[in-house]
Structure 1
Amino acid sequence: MKTARLCAGLMAVLVLTVSGCSAADQAQNPSPTSAAALTSCPATPLQAPAGNGQAPQGPPMNELKVPVDTSTSKVIDPAGAKQIQCGRTQLKTTDDVAYSTATLANGTAKPLHLDIQVPAGDSAKPLVVYVPGGGFSSANRKQTLNLRTFVAESGYVVASIEYRVQPDGATYADGLADIKAAVSYLRTNAATYGINPDKVALWGESAGGYLASMAGVTDTDPKSRVQAVIDKFGASDISKLMADYGPQIEQGFANSPNPIGQYITGSPAKSLAASPEAVTAANPVTHADAGDPPLLIFHGDNDRVISPSQTLLLHNAMTKAGATSTRYVVHGADHGDLAFIGDPNAVSPWSTEPVVSAMVDFLKATLS
């Protein structure tokens, strides 16, 4: 019973993780240097209440049992830093673009959509494809509207995509196929959206960070291969997903069938511990290679959902293989925005200027 509650709690947190603006962000004052132009970045639309009309309740959170290793990483302390602001340039937004139609496990067709933001100007812009999180149980492309808007205003076409998830009967291989399809669609329609098809990056958070990094280290198709990847608090070795929270939680999760295990193994009856070959094949660390696109990684040192060591494993695997990887540890940051489950301050570190500027600087360096 305790293990089942743990897994349910983990899934609930992952599904509810949305890095949008909180109410506090909306009240931010404009920057004194550009008060006439800048405002708070737009907030992610609120999720609908649960079936009983009540806001989602926060599940139990994990407690870190080991220190976060920052020895090969850069540390950002966002305490006191300003929140990002938007309004620097005009954007054209087109929502609900069907980029592909997938066939689900039950044989039904599911159209897959993306929302796209295009900055003003006649020149072709680099493309950033955002892959949302959701614990492999949802893929809400409306997430992180504040961050997506800021990045688009920095001179990038930003497309946020949905992909197949575990309730569709899908596996991670299907999610990767959907990412490839989205990149291929956008490259094919580059002229329509003002995209430079030779400069494409993936950016994912949580489950989306895992899929983005996995796509980066496995995709060799010229139509969908990208030039850079940003992975924010994603998994890299599923067999050790809970390693930083103590042996009981780690072993309980690995040995209990759960939706994450089903998305990886393809079977609702198989646990991660009982499927070592499938898990190894699904781990980004397995595929790290010198020819992989440059990788930028972020993780909070107070993440209570995915072990911070997950991104360290990927960073070390990439550098050992001879690839380019940079990892930032954000001091005091939890797993994205947990405002919807009782922590309205969790979003703040992730939408501060030093954290988001590191993302934009990386995109400028890799897509210039």
Structure 2
Amino acid sequence: MAAHRRLGTIAGIALLGLSVTACSSAGPVTSAEVLELAASTRTVDCPNSPVDPGGPPGGGIPVAKTVKPTSTRSSTVIVPDGPQIRCGATEVTMRQNIVYASPTVGGVRHDLKLDLQIPRTKGPKPLVVYLTGGGFLRANKTNNLAQRTYVAERGYAVASIEYRTTRTGSTYRDGVADVKSAIRYLRSQADALGIDTDQVAVWGQSAGAYLAAMTGATNGREQFEQGDHLDRSSDVQAVVDQFGTHDLARTADDFDAETRAVYMAPNSSINAYVFGPDSTRTVLTDRAANRAADPATYLSRSSAPFILLHGDNDHIISPSQSLIMLDALKAKRVKGTRYVIKGADHGDLPFLGDPEAGKKWSTQKVMGTITRFLDRELRY
């Protein structure tokens, strides 16, 4: 996200004894201040995420020189103006580094962890599992703290998870299995954590959006179920898909020829995540493998409703990808809505020297579109 001051707030009576609290108190609070704050809630800038060293794109993730205009057919255009999101209306507790699965990769055990934010309000909370981007190369669960906190403050338990990537020689099958493992684990701990096990959404951005789409499309299918808690369901009730790819062979369709060639080269990050390391196969030439990796292949009446959001100026994932997925949803009669964010690039882009780019994604207008979708699918 664009830089924000890491400020704190207290809504009502101050919390004591919490190890980590999003939007927590910035300093000591006197009795008089407690009484004053109890009468009114203060909002502050949402907390910034720590910087991920060497973060995306990096590691061979190309950035297009040119982007074709995207169609807005069957879509709603959002002009991302107006105020930015604010935090502090609700106290949120964070539990960090919870191990949810320990798969073995190449004979080595990998503990996969999650961070869980839960608002301090009464009753079980609908669960939103957040999947960060990272070009299939990395999955830093500390990313995007501001937007995660904003969603949590609106009454959701938000779990940001690690998942396996090409860095461990893993493929998309492993990544999807990890997401489903996290959902099953959280359902198994629902009573202790205060989660509503009947109401679960996946929310992904970029590579995480691809895994979110695969997770929501494969409700009821067993081929991606691995690990523990197999007596629990991994089905989800909603998918938030932000600037994700779907038909991998067409990821760079909207870009210049040089960028398309880099994306489709053998052992690019996309091909490595489909075929594994050191393979010379590509999704462009192996159509069966591309179909197997496409969430549209698995859509059925059991699939979850989708919301798709994409910037029309995305230089990393072709904007037409979300329209391809919308058409697939309609063909299978799965509920889906596409929003085109006017002038927006690929999420938060300070690594491209544009610290202002992320602000289009953190407006109340855009984030409110997401939270209204979650409210509609998980609360009513």
Scaled by the length of structure 1, the TM-score of the pair is 0.86
Q: Does the 8 Å CA contact 1:122/1:194 hold for their aligned counterparts?
A: no
- Pair 1:291 & 2:302 matched: yes
Partner amino acid, structure 2, of 1:256: P
Deviation at 1:264, TM superposition (A): 0.9
Higher helix share: 1
The question of whether the paired residues in 2 share the 8 Å contact of 1:57 and 1:342 is answered with no
Match of 1:48 among 44, 53, 59: 53
Q: Residue 229 of structure 1 contacts residue 295 of structure 1 at CA under 8 Å; is this kept in 2?
A: yes
Give 1:254 shift: 1.9
Deviation per CA, 1:249-293, whole angstroms, max 9, x where unpaired?
Answer: 324532433122011123522222232211111011222223311
Q: Secondary structure at the match of 1:249?
A: helix
Aligned length in residues: 336
Question: 2-side partners of 1:220 and 1:309: how far apart?
Answer: 28
- Give 1:233's aligned residue: 243
Q: State the alpha-carbon separation in 2 of the partners of residues 146 and 310 from structure 1.
A: 26
Between 1:36-45 and 1:143-152, the stretch displaced more is 36-45
Contact in 2 for aligned 1:216/1:229 (Cα 8 Å)? yes
2:158 counterpart of 1:158: yes
Return the letter of the residue paired with 1:85: R
Give a deviation string over 1:46-75, Cα, whole Å, max 9, x none.
Answer: 23379xxxxx89987313442211121111
Deviation at 1:92, TM superposition (A): 1.0
Match of residue 180 from structure 1: 180
Structure 1 runs (4+) greater than 4 angstroms displaced: 56-60
The gaps in structure 1 that reach 5 residues or longer are 1-19, 51-55
CA–CA distance in structure 2, aligned partners of residues 334 and 112 of structure 1: 30
Any conservation in 2 of the 1:213–1:229 contact (CA below 8 Å)? yes
Match of 1:300 in 2: 311
Q: Which residue of 2 aligns with 1:102?
A: 103
1:340 aligns with 2:341: no
Q: Report how far residue 346 of structure 1 moved.
A: 1.1
Partner Cα separation in structure 2 for residue 167 and residue 258 of structure 1: 12
1:205 aligned onto 2:205: yes
Q: What's the Cα RMSD here?
A: 2.3
Partner of 1:72: 74
Separation in 2, partners of 1:57, 1:128: 29
How far apart, in 2, do the equivalents of 1:58 and 1:278 lie? 22
Q: CA offsets per residue over residues 97-140 of structure 1, 9 Å max, x none?
A: 00110111x21000000000011123001000001110110000
Match of 2:42 in 1: 37
Change over 3 Å in CA distance of 1:58–1:188 after alignment to 2? closer
**Take 1:265 and 1:230, find their aligned partners in 2: how far apart are those partners?**
26
Three-state SS of the structure 1 residue aligned to 2:254 is: helix
Which secondary structure state, in structure 1, belongs to the residue aligned with residue 139 of structure 2? coil
Match of 1:358, SS state, is helix
Whether the 8 Å CA contact 1:255–1:274 is kept in 2: the answer is: no
- Which residues of 2 match residues 350-361 of structure 1 at below 5 A? 350-361=361-372
1:26 aligns with 2:5: yes
Offset at residue 192 of structure 1 (A): 1.3
Q: Counterparts of 2:333 and 2:340 in 1: how far apart (Å)? A: 21
Distance 1:366 1:189 in 2: 22
Distance 1:176 1:135 in 2: 15
Q: 1:92 to 1:254 in 2, by over 3 A?
A: same
Contact (CA 8 Å) 1:209, 1:234: kept in 2 or not?
Answer: yes
Structure 1 distance, partners of 2:348, 2:74, is: 26
Partner residue, 1:5: none
Whole-angstrom CA distance in 1 between matches of 2:314 and 2:249: 18
Counterpart residue type for residue 284 of structure 1: P
- Provide the residue aligned with 1:363 in structure 2: 374
Contiguous gaps of at least 5 residues in structure 2: 10-38, 222-231
In 1, Cα distance between equivalents of 2:182 and 2:254: 34
